[in-house]
A and B are shown apart, each in its own frame.
Chain A
Amino acid sequence: MERVHIEDKGNMLIVDISREMTMEIVDDLKKEFEDLFSRPWQVMALDLSGVAFMDSAGIGFVTALNNRSLQEGRKFCLLNPSEQVIKTLKLVNLWDLFATYPSLEEISRSLNLEQN
């Protein structure tokens, strides 16, 4: 995967997208993430600390990841989203939809996950 960095900790999958999340790359991201749903993670933490810009297509992509995770009985959360991402999600009243954490330790503690 060129666009994302993945760290597989078994029960937690940490996916770092350090680039813009816009219409021009969302279709590619969807294909890349399709493989990730075949892995046996319990929690997907989407690291958005490096996302400098997100449009409505990016919002839709994050919403889709959240929807699918819930449908499959898994957890999805945002990890340390950038100021721009926070502002954009608040703009469309979605900020409260996502579980958001400032650090991996906080995710593990809140969700009672064992650190590998």
Chain B
Amino acid sequence: MLQLILKDTVTPCRARMIARAVKSFLDTFVTSDVLFDLELVLTESCNNAALHAYQGLPGELEIKLDIVEHDQVALQIRDWGREFQCPWTLPDNNQESGRGIYIMRQVMHTFDYSRVEDSNIFSFTKKVEPEQWKECI
């Protein structure tokens, strides 16, 4: 197993940059279709931390990425901001927000949220089929 741990300060302006950095790492291991899903999850998670947990103010963010070769990618995203209270289901078509969690649940195989010691922990796994791994593994 390969593990990456990234700690950074997240803000609305930095959220996408953080997600892109982890995506670049993942690009070495998985094919573009898997990468697309993981990039969405990373971006939505970082956005959530910046906007909802820290409400636009700078705050600590930790991303743990576990790559289990020929099996799955596991992500854990932790912040120490406000407890998460956003919609978990898909809003009406005309709503202009509230789709982040739905997107994450759609593209990953498992999804879990817990509030631990004044922090929000989002955990995800994505099964990766044999043909979706790059040859470097």
A binds B: yes
Q: Which residues of A contact B (CB under 8 A)?
A: 20, 22-24, 53, 55-57, 59-61, 63-64, 67, 84, 87-88, 91-94, 97
Apart from the given pairs A88-B103, A92-B90, A93-B90, 6 other A-B contacts in the complex at a CB distance below 8 Å: A23-B47, A55-B43, A56-B47, A57-B47, A57-B97, A91-B106
> Does chain A have a CB within 8 A of B100?
yes
Which B residue's beta carbon lies closest to that of A63? Answer: B96
> Does chain A have a CB within 8 A of B93?
yes
Of the candidates A60, A87, A88, A91, the one whose C-beta lies within 8 Å of that of B96 is A60
Mostly, the A contact residues are: helix
18 pairs, A vs B, C-beta closer than 8 Å: A22-B16, A23-B43, A23-B47, A23-B50, A24-B13, A24-B16, A56-B44, A56-B98, A57-B97, A59-B99, A60-B95, A60-B96, A60-B97, A63-B93, A63-B95, A84-B36, A91-B40, A91-B103
Interface residues on B, range: 20 to 34
A53 to B106, CA, bound (A): 17
Q: How many A-B residue pairs have CB under 8 A?
A: 62
Check A23/B15 contact, CB under 8 A, given A63-B94, A92-B90: yes
Which A residue's beta carbon lies closest to that of B43? Answer: A55
- B 64-103 to A, binary, CB cutoff 8 A, 1 in contact else 0: 0000000000000000000000000010011111111011
> Does chain A have a CB within 8 A of B128?
no
A residues near B103, Cβ cutoff 8 Å:
56, 88, 91-92
In the complex, the 10 A-B pairs of residues with the closest C-beta atoms, listed nearest first: A60-B96, A56-B99, A56-B100, A64-B96, A55-B43, A24-B16, A23-B47, A60-B97, A22-B16, A92-B99
Q: Are B47 and A55 interface neighbours, CB within 8 A?
A: yes
